[in-house]
């Protein structure tokens, strides 16, 4: 199947009903054409209605005495955005293929803030994808290279990096599995906790001679080192950290050259991991990212969740009513016989 080009995206978005059909087929919006969860008599029907929805269409209960409405965006990736669905799809396409913000602003007639916010939102998807997978590296027979690197600005744009943060990371040889985390310090306690969380016991770990790694053999790992002050490859074991070193270079190049806030570094790391693991070698990077979005947002579960909320609310009301009846009965039993006929809730 050939990769979707921008012309294909444009053709998809020209016709709104066709657009809804396309994103529905890819699991980005829900099909709410089911029995009404509110009245249980009507069904939700797809209707044209510009008075309530910015999209000009919605789902509405066919029972006129009910008439409940549901947005076509409910529970979806599009739900809380002020952008049109067409522009969101185009912006996502541009983000996947790393087009500059200035170009996106002109093509979609949106502000720089809008572009930045949506790109941050896309990186949040990357974060959720990686965290939900909880995919640890290594295992017996596997090799993982680990290292720390300083990210930040050079003082006066020259010399060693001094203003920034330390990042600890690891990458598994022969696969695209990797992880990166900002660390407050490079102590044994800090790095060992991250290693245990991300790398399976039995793994061969290769690192430099930083003292924090000296205990790895005591925690179920085979540990090989290379002394970078003397050589790039350990002449006895052949150990080297070329893969993680080249990854640091690529990761730093992937960051914006200016204006990146420290608190956003993690989101860029998640983006890098998703691109490396899922997008770079996929047949169609845009469709692969759309697939990832559909694994994070499940709009078809909206009615189920809402139904459960309604049932819980009704159950609570029933319990409260029963409690009230119990209190009333108890009060009547303990009341003066001469006032037993008085309505306590009048």
In the numeric block, the tokens 């709410």 are attached to: 32
Q: What is the pLDDT of residue 318?
A: 60
Judge whether 252 lies within some domain: yes
Largest CA distance in the chain: 103
Are residues 254 and 144 part of one domain? yes
Judge whether 231 lies within some domain: yes
How far is residue 202's CA from residue 136's CA, in Å, rounded to a whole number? 12
**R_g over Cα of the chain:** 29
Are residues 210 and 316 part of one domain? no
Interacting residues of 257 by C-beta distance below 8 A, sequence separation 6+:
none
Are residues 185 and 232 part of one domain? yes
Judge whether 246 lies within some domain: yes
Judge whether 100 lies within some domain: no
Are residues 277 and 327 part of one domain? no
Question: How many domains are contained in the chain?
Answer: 2
Are residues 314 and 266 part of one domain? no
How far is residue 32's CA from residue 79's CA, in Å, rounded to a whole number? 15
Q: What is the pLDDT of residue 337?
A: 46
Q: Which of 193, 205, 128, 217 is nearest to 181 (CA)?
A: 193
Are residues 277 and 142 part of one domain? yes
Q: What is the pLDDT of residue 190?
A: 95
Domain span at residue 236 reads 138-284
Sheet holding 161-172, edge to edge: 178-183, 161-172, 143-154, 204-207, 222-225
Are residues 279 and 142 part of one domain? yes
Asked if 221 and 199 count as a contact pair (C-beta separation under 8 A), the reply is yes
DSSP state of 275: I
Q: What is the pLDDT of residue 305?
A: 81
Pairing of strands 44-48, 57-61: antiparallel
Interacting residues of 275 by C-beta distance below 8 A, sequence separation 6+:
254
How far is residue 18's CA from residue 8's CA, in Å, rounded to a whole number? 13
Instruction: Kindly give the confidence (pLDDT) of every residue in the chain, 346 residues in length, as a single tens digit, with 9 standing for 90 and above.
Output: 689 999 999 999 999 999 999 999 999 999 999 899 898 899 999 999 888 778 999 999 999 999 999 999 999 999 989 999 999 999 999 999 999 999 999 999 999 999 999 999 999 999 999 989 878 999 999 999 999 998 875 544 455 544 678 999 999 999 879 999 999 999 999 999 999 999 999 999 999 999 999 999 999 999 999 998 888 898 999 999 999 999 999 998 888 876 566 678 889 999 999 999 999 999 999 999 999 999 999 898 888 888 787 777 766 666 555 555 545 455 545 544 443 332 322 2
Are residues 235 and 198 part of one domain? yes
Are residues 167 and 227 part of one domain? yes
Judge whether 185 lies within some domain: yes
CB atoms < 10 A from the CB of 309, how many?
A: 11
How far is residue 202's CA from residue 144's CA, in Å, rounded to a whole number? 11
Give SS3 for 164: strand
| Per-position DSSP letters for 58-117, written without gaps between them | EEEES-TTT--EEETTTTSTTTT-SS-HHHHHHHHHHHHTT--HHHHHHHHT--HHHHHH
Residues in the chain: 346
Alpha-carbon torsion 135, 136, 141, 142, what sign? Answer: positive
């Amino acid at each position: 199947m050939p990769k979707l080009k921008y012309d294909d995206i444009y053709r998809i978005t020209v016709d709104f009903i066709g657009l809804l059909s396309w994103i529905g087929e890819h699991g980005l919006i829900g099909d709410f054409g089911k029995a009404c969860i509110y009245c249980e008599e009507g069904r939700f029907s797809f209707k044209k209605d510009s008075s309530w929805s910015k999209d000009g269409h919605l789902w509405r209960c066919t029972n006129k005495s009910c008439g409940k409405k549901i947005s076509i965006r409910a529970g979806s990736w599009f739900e809380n955005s002020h952008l049109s669905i067409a522009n969101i799809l185009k912006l996502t396409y541009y983000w996947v293929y790393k087009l500059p913000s200035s170009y996106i602003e002109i093509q979609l007639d949106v502000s720089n803030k809008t572009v930045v916010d949506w790109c941050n939102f896309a990186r949040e998807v990357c974060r959720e994808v990686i965290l939900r997978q909880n995919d640890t590296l290594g295992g017996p027979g596997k090799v993982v290279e680990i290292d720390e690197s300083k990210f930040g600005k050079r003082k006066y744009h020259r010399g060693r990096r001094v203003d920034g943060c330390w990042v600890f990371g690891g990458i598994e040889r022969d696969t695209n599995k990797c992880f990166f985390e900002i660390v407050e310090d490079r102590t044994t306690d800090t790095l060992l906790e991250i290693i245990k969380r991300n790398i399976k016991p039995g793994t061969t770990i290769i690192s430099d001679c930083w003292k924090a790694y000296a205990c790895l053999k005591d925690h179920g790992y085979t540990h090989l080192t290379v002394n970078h002050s003397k050589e790039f490859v350990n002449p006895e074991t052949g150990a080297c950290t070329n893969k993680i070193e080249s990854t640091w270079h690529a990761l730093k190049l992937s960051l914006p050259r200016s204006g990146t806030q420290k608190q956003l570094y993690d989101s860029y790391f998640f983006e890098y991991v998703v691109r490396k693991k899922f997008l770079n070698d996929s047949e169609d990077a845009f469709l692969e990212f759309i697939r990832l979005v559909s694994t994070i947002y499940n709009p078809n579960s909206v009615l189920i969740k809402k139904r459960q909320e309604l049932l819980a609310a009704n159950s609570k009301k029933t319990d409260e009513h029963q409690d009230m009846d119990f209190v009333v009965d108890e009060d009547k039993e303990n009341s003066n016989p001469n006032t037993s006929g008085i309505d306590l809730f009048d």
